[in-house]
Each structure stands twice: as structure tokens, then as C-alpha cells.
Amino acid sequence: MRISAWQRRSRLGVRHRLAAKAANVEEAAESVVALHATDPATVFLSAGARLEAPGPEPVERALYDDRTLVRMTGMRRTVFVVPAGLVPVVHHSSTFAIAVKERRSLLKLLAEGGWHDPWLKDVEASVLRLLAEAGEATAAELGALEPRLREQVRVAVGKPYEAVHSIGTRLLPVMAMEGLLVRRGRPAGSWISGQHRWGVAPAMAELTAHEAQAELVRRWLAAFGPGTEADLKWWTGWALGDVRRALAAVGAAAVSLDEGTGYVLPGDLDEPPPPQPWAALLPALDPTPMGWQARDWYLPQAHRAELFDRSGNVGPTVWWNGEVVGGWAQRRDGEIAWRLLSDVGSDAKAAIEAQVAGLASWLDGVKVTPRFRTPLERELSA
């Protein structure tokens, strides 16, 4: 069976809750498996683009009060916000393997500075004890309680990006990757702040790596399918053998795409009814444009130089009916500026203007600058 680019764009609009909005932030996150969270503002902007009633409050409530969403390192060593029930799947499928490598790298780095494993284990035990007593704390607060976290270590010696880091800067994320800590408390600052509080992680369900990988692939296919092996390999960061094993485990059905062979979940072959015309303003690193390796079916090659940075991070994008048609940014005074890179007609322009007005309304003067700047975003914000 063949699935066309137009059909894929129809699926994207409905399944990613861009053509039909979500009632709550948990549903919005589940629609794309997980929200990118390397840049704290992305979580709020990505959720807002998918919510019937957008704003920072429902996201903050889910993250810090109800804790139905959890911030964690996941696929490709990227920070995501995931539904709480998905934490064991992400951990056992992806994060734990990353943690093993990061632990090895950390021990090597510390040994070069004269610190060894028993010393590090004592520091870790102290951190867990202090957090059990305090409930939660920022990295700076933990450093005041446990001064060894403030010890300095030089990294990438002799390289252009050589730097000095505190041991806490390297240790706390590794402990989180191992499932010992979690970034769970309200940040020190506004909702766009990255100074999150650490806490002791709750116990999580045990899964084998193969079980977890199969479940993550099932979720990805439900949200992003059809996709190719190369798409999944890129999105997960796994070896190709792991991708193929997980596809077999979920009984994925092969389909024909412009890029070659793609896969969908069994029973997901019917063509969905097309949604009503829709427009969206998605933030930098939004999970939709970052969901596939092969992007020609929704993002023209001609637009990429302006919309991506040199490391492959996407900037803020303007969408019309499942295709990237432009970009946007905020100026110094908070005004939203946008530019079309495709000719889309007057109806599309009116729909995009409505999205711009809606975003400006709920941002209510808050200025958001992406962590990774792209050529068009820099130009529009100037």
C-alpha cells in the first residue's frame, strides 16, 4: 500500500493535535510521545500550540503540582518532558544505556583530577540524603549543603571548547539518567527559567530493554507513522538492529512512501478523513518538525537554511495544512514577527494572523528567545 505525502500531512495535523486541539496538556504531550525540553520555553510553547486553552498555568500544574508530566533525559541524550506513565519506557529503552556511557566518562574525568569512585559514591549518598531531608533543591542550594559538588574540573582540555565545570554540573544529570534524581520542582524564576529543582526520583516499573523499546516504537508509530527505519533510528538514537527488532515486536506493517519503505502500526492503513484547514506557530525544537529524519514531505529543502542552525536544530516555524511555510520570532518589545517562505494565499494568511494574535495574547508580554538561534529567527527578531 502507498501513503502519499498529502496523506501524511493529514495524519500529522490530526494526530499531533494541531488541527484538532487537546483538552489538556497531558493529551498534548502524548500526541507527540514527548515534548522537547532542552529549552524550557519549548515545553510551554509546544503545549500551547496544541491546547484548546493555552497558557503557562496548565503546564506548570502538570509538571509541578500534579506531576503527570516529568522532565528527563531521553532519546539522543536530549531532555524531554514525558507523560509520567512513559518514564519507565524511556528510561529502560534509551536513558539507561546513555547513563552507562556518561558514568564511565565522568569517572575518567574525575580520575584525571585525583578523585576516584569511592569518593564519588560518598558524594552521591550525601546528595540523596540531603534531598530526602529537604524535599527538593536547586543545584546551587545543593552545592551550599554539599560543598564537594562545587569542586572544579576541567573538561575537553586542549580543545577549542575547553571549559571548567563544577562536579555537580556533571554529576546531578548522570544521577538523573540513572533514575536516582528527577528535575521536578518549580524553577527559580519564571516559567521560561532553566534553574529547576532536583528531588529524589520515585521508584519506577522494571522493564527489559527490548520490552521498553517495543513500547516506545509503538507510541512513535501511533503518533508519527508512517515513518522509515532511518526516521526511527534518528529519533531514538538506537542502533539499526534495535529499531528492526522493535518494529518486528509490534508487528509493524510495511507501506510505500516517497522515501522508500515505511511502517505503520497493524490496522493503521486506512486513509483518515482530511481535517479542516489549519495553521500553527510552532516553537524552536518542537517535536513535530523534529520527528523525522527525512523531511521533504512537510518541509521544503529550500527553506532549511533559514529555519535550522548548523547543528540541525529547528527554529520557530509557521505551518499551513501540514507543511512548513515560514518562520516567526519575537522582537525586543515582544511583538511577534513572521515571514512566509511559500506562497499560500489569502485564506492561509488570515489563519496564520489569527494564530499570531492568539499566541501574543497568552504570552502576555513574556519575551522568549530560543536557546538555538537560526538565521530567519535572528533576522525577524532584530
Q: Which of the two residues, 15 and 192, has the higher pLDDT score?
A: 15
Cα distance between residue 81 and residue 13, in whole Å: 21
Residues contacting 117, CB < 8 A, separation 6+: 107
Of the chain, the end-to-end C-alpha distance in Å amounts to: 48
| SS3 of residue 280 by DSSP | strand
Edge-first strand listing for the sheet containing 317-320: 279-282, 317-320, 323-330, 336-340
340: its cell numbers: 512566509
pLDDT digits (tens, 9 = 90+) for 206-218: 999 999 999 999 9
pLDDT digits (tens, 9 = 90+) for 127-165: 999 999 999 999 999 999 999 999 998 876 777 777 788
Mean pLDDT of the 321-325 span: 98
Q: Is the dihedral of CA 102, 105, 107, 109 positive or negative?
A: negative
Indicate the pLDDT class of residue 381, thresholds 50, 70 and 90.
very high
pLDDT digits (tens, 9 = 90+) for 89-118: 999 999 999 999 999 999 998 988 888 899
Q: What are phi and psi of 33, to 5 degrees?
A: 70, -55
pLDDT at 359: 97
Separation of CA 3 from chain center? 27
* Other CB atoms within 10 Å distance of the CB of residue 58: 19
Q: Determine the angle formed by the axes of helices 346-363 and 40-48, rounding to 10 degrees.
A: 130
pLDDT at 123: 97
Q: Please calculate the CA angle 280-324-34 and round it to the nearest 5 degrees.
A: 65
pLDDT digits (tens, 9 = 90+) for 334-358: 999 999 999 999 999 999 999 999 9
